[in-house]
Amino acid sequence: MDPRVSQKPEKATEEDKKKRRHKQRTKRTITRAVTHIRLIEANPGKLAALDQMMAVYLPICQRYVILFCTAETPPDKYGDPVFESELSNRLHRVAMQQAAGIAKSWRTNRENAYQAYLEDVADYVQAKAKAEAEDRMSAFKRTEPTWNEWHVPVLRVPVIQANANVVVVEQSKDSTFDYWLRVSTLDKGTPLRVPVKLASYHKQVLKERTINTSTTLHKRNGVWWLTLSCDEDVPLQTEPSAPVVGVDVGIAHFITTSTNKEYGSFHGKMARQHKRDREKRRRKAKLRACLEKKGASADKLPSTSSASGQRLSRHVKQEINRAVNELITDHPDARLIYEDLNVASMRFKARSMNAYLYASNLAHIPEQLAWAAGQRGMAAHTVWAAYSSQECPRCHFVDRANRPNQKTFKCVVCGYEDHADHKAAVTLAGRWGDRELAACRDKREVKALLLKRHDVWKQQQQQRIECADPPVQLSFWDPPEAFWDPSQVLNSSRMRELHRVPVVHPADESAVG
Ligand SMILES: [Zn+2]
């Protein structure tokens, strides 16, 4: 077997694990990417060889993406190759690894979205049954959730995520170039050598650092680009006693903290820009469909990609970065707790909200948080986000009904009320160090645990009321209106029974049972 084909790594030993844990306690490793290195110094003949390789590489990678996305079992990047190819074994393995990476994140996102859909269905069925039982179907307006199967990713941009088995970065010996890339091609045994010249800002980042062995090559607008990266260890600055600050990610404000501060927003100018852009794209798509019907050739059709859309997306990212920086400036000594945000499963009632969600690049927020905190040696941890917007911080009751609208949290059991985003941030902060919760394997287990805690709360309430039971002097005791039924002749035991009923919000009857 070729020793330079990637092999499955050996399992980490106890010793390795111990070392890793120690490092996690004292340091943060951040990876800096050095992007936009143009490979323009190479002669056209060399780059043509790269094009030829990519012409074989990309279709193979795509076939594996389809295979890995649709297979029953999770992708195995070290499995036996299943497709015939002109590629060398090493390139073939790299294609499989790249495809497995794409398929893995696609499968996770799809699965999360599907679980969210199943929950929606269960919630809908329950609500419908309740409406039927109470004979108010005429007022039941909810539509049954539907599932649209996801498309398997299509690789459009020629890109190879390479390792040292197929692309090697060599320090240049003369001063004309900074590095040479040695790239495997279809012509086995004669690798391609491509010169690399760095800009001064590239050199600044790489100064005195070791370049990682993984590299990325991609082609856009007829130009080949190289991405390099290097790791940096940053000593952890956060004290063990640092205040814990929960961070909720949302639409109204990009970030809301448990310290009751808000940063960044998609509303205002950006939302207007987004709306204009959406209308423009819709018009273009209509025109396209119309021209296609008339048989116009493909190259005459208006493009569906939108420059203003890309501009907006960049703008949103800048705003997010600014919001994250402000958050960190305001909480320099804190330990940040945020949600492992799963955009696919975030649901919004309004349809237009989904477009907002997409445009606002919410997923960029946790990435930026992790990066900005890591760079400063700040502790930042993710916790289970499931039901963080629905759980009551006082009684742990979990239900959609606790969110009468996007802005408000109001527990239907104990009446606890707060601004929804602030409450979610407080809940996230509280989940840090919660081992029982961290041990849950899926959302269902999270919900079961929270409802178990709610039961404990209910029992405690009951005991508290019992303890507070005054000596039996029934004649002085005035039962609350809600439990007073004058038609019943109450004997003392019945009275006491009533007395023990925990005080619940009147609207909650169904939720408790
Ligand atoms: Zn409550």
- Per-residue pLDDT, averaged over 74-97, amounts to 94
Quick check: 323 and 254 in contact, CB under 8 A?
Answer: yes
- Ligand 1 centre distance from Cα of residue 180 (Å): 63
Tell me the pLDDT band of 508, cut-offs 50, 70 and 90.
Answer: very low
Report whether pLDDT(489) > 80: no
Tell me the pLDDT band of 302, cut-offs 50, 70 and 90.
Answer: low
- Ligand 1 centre distance from Cα of residue 292 (Å): 57
pLDDT at position 176 is: 86
- Per-residue pLDDT, averaged over 51-70, amounts to 96
- Ligand 1 centre distance from Cα of residue 413 (Å): 5
pLDDT at position 485 is: 37
pLDDT at position 435 is: 93
Amino acid at 364: H
Tell me the pLDDT band of 444, cut-offs 50, 70 and 90.
Answer: confident
Q: Where is mean pLDDT largest: 214-218, 304-308, 385-389, 402-406?
A: 214-218
Cβ-based neighbours of 49, under 8 Å, separated by 6 or more: 185, 186, 187, 192
- Ligand 1 centre distance from Cα of residue 406 (Å): 18
Give the residue ranges of DSSP H helices in 27-156. Answer: 44-70, 89-133
Quick check: 165 and 4 in contact, CB under 8 A?
Answer: yes
- Which residues are near ligand 1, the ion (C-beta closer than 5 Å)? 392, 394-395, 397, 411, 413-414, 416
DSSP codes joined into one string, 399-454: -GGG-SSSSEEE-TTT--EEEHHHHHHHHHHHHTT-HHHHT--SHHHHHHHHHHHH
- Per-residue pLDDT, averaged over 482-487, amounts to 35
pTM of the predicted structure, to 2 decimals = 0.73
Parallel, antiparallel, or unpaired: how do β-strands 262-263 and 244-249 relate?
A: unpaired
Report whether pLDDT(505) > 60: no
Report whether pLDDT(275) > 90: no
Two structure tokens written together for 69: 């996305």
- Ligand 1 centre distance from Cα of residue 410 (Å): 8
- Ligand 1 centre distance from Cα of residue 197 (Å): 62
Cα separation, 158 vs 508, in Å, equals 57
Two structure tokens written together for 465: 């009321």
Please give the residue that has the higher pLDDT: either 175 or 186: 186
pLDDT at position 354 is: 58
- Ligand 1 centre distance from Cα of residue 333 (Å): 31
- Ligand 1 centre distance from Cα of residue 116 (Å): 23
- Ligand 1 centre distance from Cα of residue 170 (Å): 62
Please give the residue that has the higher pLDDT: either 45 or 98: 98
- Ligand 1 centre distance from Cα of residue 428 (Å): 16
- Ligand 1 centre distance from Cα of residue 502 (Å): 13
Cα separation, 119 vs 266, in Å, equals 28
pLDDT at position 343 is: 58
Report whether pLDDT(304) > 80: no
- Ligand 1 centre distance from Cα of residue 400 (Å): 13
- Ligand 1 centre distance from Cα of residue 250 (Å): 22
Given phi > 0 = left and psi -120 to 50 = alpha, else beta, which region is 505? Answer: beta
Report whether pLDDT(288) > 60: yes
